[in-house]
Amino acid sequence: MTIAEVSKKYDISADTLRYYERVGMIPPVTRTASGIRDYQDSDLGWVGLAKCMRSAGLPVEAMIEYVRLYQEGDSTIPARLQLLLE
């Protein structure tokens, strides 16, 4: 799915999607061989989560920390849960 399609589906600007990826609010998006973003289902899940968390008032820094913890693996599940409970 292209960035334009994701933007329309989630009602988020393409610039915001790029920002989310750049600062680490979502993990790096899958790219084509030519470097164009090609959002897969897993990428869409992160976009949906980021939108939901922002709507709930979760600070950007907390979302970045959540993604960082996720990328470290299952051993960080308790820390991720604690982050969401705060």
pLDDT in tens, 19-65: 999 999 999 999 999 999 999 999 999 999 999 999 999 999 999 99
pLDDT band of residue 84 (cuts 50, 70, 90) is confident
pTM of this structure: 0.88
Q: Is the dihedral of CA 72, 51, 41, 37 positive or negative?
A: negative
| Structural domains in the chain, sorted by start | 3-83 (1.10.1660.10)
Block residue for tokens 């950007």 = 60
CA triple 26-46-35, angle to 5 deg: 60
